[in-house]
Chain A
Amino acid sequence: MDTLYREEILEHYKYPRNKGTLEKPDITYKDFNPLCGDECQIDLHVKDNRVDEVKFMAKGCAISQAATSMLTEMIEGKSLEEIKQLSKKDILDVLGIELGPVRLKCALLCLKVLKGGIYGIKEWPT
């Protein structure tokens, strides 16, 4: 079990970072995983082209919640250009687990939402 739910994933799941919404977000975007009905919304405050503040609201499994929580920590202070470079690998690296094709989408929905909000990119991250 520990190979699928590492301690850190469970910790982020139980105590998510940056959970909530922003009062007047510069960017807000929401998307769904039609496979399981999971949803994820990310709000951003952007200052000098950098992420100043980020909040998320998500419904989903431990993997998706933890991935979103970890992603928000990862992007604080990052430039939008740096965010554009984030890939599937970055998410899997922080999760530190391997996932099959179905559950991969649980992990990647947050990055899809982030890129959808900033750049209007609709594809699943690769």
Chain B
Amino acid sequence: MLLEAQKIRADFPILKRQIGGKPLVYLDNAASSQKPQSVLLTMNAFYQVSYANIHRGVYTIAEEATELYEKARETVANFLNTKTHREIIFTRGTTEAINLVRFSWGRKNVQSGDEILLTEMEHHSNLVPWQLLAQEKGAKLKFIPFDSQGKLVLDQLDSLLTDKTKLVAMNFVSNTFGTINPVEKVIAKAHAKGIPVLLDAAQAVPHLTVDVQKLDCDFLAFSSHKMLGPTGIGVLYAKEKILEAMDPFLGGGEMIKEVHWDHSTWNDLPGKFEAGTQSIAEAVGLKAAIDYLKTIGLEKIHDHEQALARYTMEQFSEMKELTFYGPPPKDRCGLVAFNLQGIHPHDVAAVLDRSGICVRAGHHCTQPLHRKLGLEASVRASYYLYNTKEEVDLLIDALKETTRFFKK
């Protein structure tokens, strides 16, 4: 079921843009999304009317700014259905959120000989931080494998979760296959052995209804810029009890309760993890983005994107020179990675750009995944609520043209 895309598109100023006389076809939403007018206007208005630093000033606009910032936190908390807004930590993005867990939780809880269980389809941002922690502590990384459809193989999960496993860190939705991973199953099995689970939800929160209490995940990280919001802000959700027991991340202002020459005590949650001046306008912008997503409805957005992915895969199936990766449409979000035989992904993307079509070419920060497939890189088209079937047709036409051009 497709959304009324034309109505939605009118809310996104950049979509009026032309590239070399052709309309912009933006199909790189898994990398970052475009912003609706409401987000831009809200941030602009905040700077023009209420801007000041938060949590300190006692004057009117400082109070207003603080209120708007905390209102944003409440909005995120409601959006994820957390028990309390104290479980929402604002970070710079998914990467910083995962690294926060690495430093504040990992250093304390992972020791020599311990194991961290990941999957073979992690984005580098949920792989490299754990490599660094494992190197520091002498711990070991293990991986849940994926099959030829880009789906996780859970047969061996019981033996992968050992007495030494201290954490499971996995992506909710794969940024390369588009697979919606069976995170509930993994969480249930991990919890049965008392192991906490971190979800990299960068590709999930923008596209799916995410309820952290229902999922029962222990940590969850995502970025604002992939869900219609501004760059420079993201979220770490963690269960309150876990956050309370964690060491601080960055030291500085706001994260303290009392400071002496030689020691300090820590602020209550969430301030304990928010040292320094935060991305205030960005938090306000993120709230506007969530408000916008809610007016459309995440279920409808997911259906729309999945329908576009299904249509794309149907068209791709008829192109013999094209190979695409990942599971059937029903198991995925709205993205499709592929290759044109004998043409490097960068060349495909460069030729598509001539038609105003923006796709990602490269390893999408999943180099080990590509290596396992025997690939250096791939092309990826990723959809969001403002994309249309007509845009998929333009993509297909341009890909056929690309093949003709390089084969001539």
Q: What residues of chain A have their CB less than 8 Å away from a CB belonging to chain B?
A: 1, 4-5, 10, 35-38, 59-65, 103, 106
Contact = CB atoms under 8 A, between A and B. Distances in A.
Interface stretch (B34-42, B100-108, B276-284, B345-353): B345-353
Contacts of B363: 36-37
Given A37-B363, A37-B376, A60 B344 contact: yes
Interface in B305-359: 344-347, 350-351, 354
Contact of B350 (A4, A35, A60, A65): A4
Interface in B364-391: 367, 370, 376-377
Contact of B406 (A10, A38, A65): A10
A60 B345 CA distance: 9
A56 to B, nearest CB: 16
14 contacts: A1-B351, A4-B350, A4-B351, A4-B354, A5-B347, A5-B351, A38-B376, A59-B376, A61-B344, A61-B345, A61-B347, A62-B344, A103-B346, A103-B350
Contacts, number: 44
State the main secondary structure of chain B at its contact with A.
helix
A62 B354 contact: no
Nearest to A36: B362
Given A1-B405, A5-B405, A63 B346 contact: yes
Contacts of A36: 346, 361-363, 377
Nearest to B367: A37
Interface string B29-57: 00000000000000000000000000000
Contacts of B354: 1, 4
Top-6 shortest CB links A-B: A61-B346, A61-B344, A36-B362, A37-B363, A62-B347, A61-B347
A65 B352 CA distance: 20
A7 B362 CA distance: 25
A41 to B, nearest CB: 14
B246 to A, nearest CB: 32
Contacts of B346: 36, 60-64, 103, 106
B376 A61 contact: no
Nearest to B361: A36
Given A4-B350, A10-B406, A35 B376 contact: no
Contacts of A64: 346
B334 to A, nearest CB: 24
Nearest to A60: B344
Given A10-B406, A60-B344, A65-B344, 15 more contacts: A4-B351, A5-B405, A35-B362, A36-B362, A37-B362, A37-B367, A37-B370, A37-B376, A59-B376, A62-B346, A63-B346, A63-B350, A64-B346, A103-B350, A106-B346
A59 B345 CA distance: 11
Contacts of B370: 37
Q: Give the residue among A60, A61, A106 with the most B Cβ atoms within 10 A.
A: A61
A37 B351 CA distance: 19
Contacts of A63: 346-347, 350
A37 B377 contact: yes
A38 B367 CA distance: 11
Contacts of B367: 37
B346 to A, nearest CB: 4
